[in-house]
Amino acid sequence: MSWFFLTLSVESLHRLRNVIFEHRLYLPMVGVSIFFSAGACLLFEERKKVIVACSVPILIFSVATYRRNEVWRDGVRLWQDVVKKSPESARSYKNLGFAYLEGGRYDDAIASCRKAIELDPADAKVYNNIGLAYGKQGRYDDAIASCRKAIELDPTYAKAYNNLGIAYGEKGHAEKEIEYYQKAIELDPAYPQAYGNLGSAYLERGEYDRAIAAYQKAIQLDPDYVKAHSNLAMAYLAKKDKTGLTRQVERLKKLGRRDLAEELEKNVNSGLNKNGD
């Protein structure tokens, strides 16, 4: 049994965010399994009795594992289970809120994040997630207020600036939109989504060269960023640059997005030709 406590103590050498976490038992349980298997061999001389003695806990743990896998199968189920077992954990409510957000359950996401704030009022990420949920609902003023609160708590939080830019863009405030995307990039120069959003803001303003530069930077940071590839193609289309558009069509095909590539090819063969290109 010393193996159990020895291996369990290894993770305890550094500060733990969660003292109780089931994956911390994976390695320690190897020693427990060996201990009980050896004990069964010593206790029973007949091989059949040893097999039965070992099979019972295996069956019990197998059923428990299957039931636990049902919880782990879905993010919402998992964090609902965690909240049920740790109702005073702000992190649990925050992660449940994010799971709701990813699942499109925006009211539930906001409610869960509000509970997280009650337990930890200084978590900027929670306010940012609330802002995301409000934005998905079209409640842009509320989204702006939540993102500003996130920035108040953490002035270096690039994602909050990016989401603030999105909200202002949806309200038609292009100057502020661009300002906040640029601030996000200043804080995190390796933030492809901020470059992608900046490119879209420039594209809407007809500033095609700036849009292309921003999309290219986004793709440089994340070569598999499909939306940036597609929007870069649209910028080339708007600029009537057939060479750039054709190049982007081929890149989208390589990324497995033939649907987008074929739609853009129609523009190559029709829209651009009408303009004499």
257: left (phi over 0), alpha (psi -120 to 50) or beta: beta
| 200 and 272 share one domain | yes
Asked whether residue 43 is domain-assigned, the answer is: yes
Q: Which amino acid is present at 250?
A: E
- From 17, 42, 72, the end of a domain falls on 72
Cα–Cα distance for residue pair 136/130, rounded to 1 Å? 10
User: What pLDDT digit, counting tens, does each position of 61-104 carry?
Assistant: 555 554 545 544 677 888 889 999 888 999 999 999 999 999 99
Asked whether residue 177 is domain-assigned, the answer is: no
What token pair was written down for 5? 């406590």
Who wins on pLDDT, 246 or 44?
246
| 95 and 63 share one domain | no
Question: Which of 15-24, 171-180, 240-249 is modeled with the greatest confidence?
Answer: 171-180
| 230 and 268 share one domain | yes
Q: Is the pLDDT of residue 18 over 60?
A: no
Q: What's CA 44's distance to the chain center, in Å?
A: 52
Asked whether residue 175 is domain-assigned, the answer is: no
- From 72, 93, 128, the end of a domain falls on 72
| 68 and 80 share one domain | no
Asked whether residue 231 is domain-assigned, the answer is: yes
How many domains are contained in the chain?
3
| 260 and 197 share one domain | yes
| 82 and 63 share one domain | no
| 273 and 226 share one domain | yes
**Long-range CB contact pairs, 229-232, < 8 A, 24+:** 229/255, 229/257, 230/257, 230/260, 230/264, 231/196, 231/199, 231/200, 231/203, 232/199
| 79 and 144 share one domain | yes
Asked whether residue 171 is domain-assigned, the answer is: no
The boundaries of the domain holding residue 20 are 2-72
Q: Is the pLDDT of residue 11 over 90?
A: no
Instruction: Give the CA distances from residue 253 to residues 214, 222, 259, in Å, rounded to whole numbers and listed in that order.
Output: 22, 17, 8
Q: What's CA 22's distance to the chain center, in Å?
A: 23
Cβ atoms of 240 and 272 closer than 8 Å? yes
**Is residue 213 within a helix (H) or strand (E), and if so which, with residue range?**
helix 208-221
CATH number of the domain residue 133 falls in: 1.25.40.10
pTM (two decimals): 0.74
Asked whether residue 247 is domain-assigned, the answer is: yes
Cα–Cα distance for residue pair 262/250, rounded to 1 Å? 10
- From 72, 97, 116, the end of a domain falls on 72
| 194 and 272 share one domain | yes
CB atoms within 10 A of CB 104: 10
Asked whether residue 179 is domain-assigned, the answer is: no
Model pLDDT, residue 276: 44
| 83 and 115 share one domain | yes
User: What pLDDT digit, counting tens, does each position of 28-48 carry?
Assistant: 555 556 556 656 565 655 666
- To the nearest whole number, what is the mean pLDDT of the chain? 83
| 86 and 130 share one domain | yes
| 52 and 85 share one domain | no
Model pLDDT, residue 43: 61
Asked whether residue 125 is domain-assigned, the answer is: yes
**Percent of the chain surpassing pLDDT 90:** 61
